[in-house]
Amino acid sequence: MVYLNFTNLDSETQERLLSDSKEDVESRSGTELRQFAKIHDKDYEALLEDEAMRNLYNYDFVFNM
């Protein structure tokens, strides 16, 4: 059995997974993040990026070799 984490992947795969994670976070909690960013005068894109990175560690990665 091989266990990999996000940092063991090549940069192209990391970018694709981060993009997928951003879409996932935005679909689940985009409205709440926008409201939080507006209330606290934060950058929405930076918040989305942080949440997407946290979300990646909730994924189970499956690879076909």
Take residue 21 and report the two structure tokens written for it.
């994670």
Half-sphere exposure of 43 (CA within 13 A, CB side): 4
Reported as a single tens digit per residue, the pLDDT across 21-54 is 999 999 999 999 999 999 999 999 999 999 999 9
How sure is the predictor about 10, in pLDDT bands with cuts at 50, 70 and 90? Answer: confident
Measured between alpha carbons, how far is residue 19 from residues 12, 40, 49 in Å?
Answer: 11, 25, 9
Between helices 11-39 and 44-56, what is the axis angle to 10°? 130
**Predicted pLDDT at 13:** 83
Structure tokens at 4: 């990999």
Give the rounded distance of the alpha carbon of 63 from its chain centre.
Answer: 19
